[in-house]
Structures are given as structure tokens and as C-alpha cells.
Amino acid sequence: MPQLNPAPWFFIMLISWFTLSLIIQPKLLSFVSMNPPSSKPPIAPSTTPWTWPWT
């Protein structure tokens, strides 16, 4: 059964993983995030109770 022969498919898998991890991934990680994380502590919004007109 030729589909059980791992020789060509294992090489293709290795080449694709090396391409992804050595070429594509550093290029993607070099982009600056448009929304960088902030070091400010989160501020809780001040809420006021709602006055219902029918109570």
C-alpha cells in the first residue's frame, strides 16, 4: 500500500514546518500590534442607580 510509505510525506511535512517556523513566523511576529497591552490598572466605571419613573 503506497499511502503507508512515509518517505515522501514526512519530508514534505518537515519542509513545510521549517518554512513556517524559520521564514513565515518571524515575519509575522515582527509586526507591531495596533493595540498594545497597557500597564495601567483597570479603572472601575462609576455607576449611578437608575431612577425608574414608575416606582
State residue 16 phi and psi, 5-degree precision.
Answer: -70, -40
Q: Buried (b) or exposed (e) across 20-53, using 16+ Cβ within 10 A?
A: eeeeeeeeeeeeeeeeeeeeeeeeeeeeeeeeee
Is this structure's pTM higher than 0.75? Answer: no
pLDDT in tens, 17-47: 999 889 888 888 888 777 777 788 888 888 8
User: Between 5 and 11, where is the model more confident?
Assistant: 11
Q: What is the pLDDT of residue 3?
A: 67
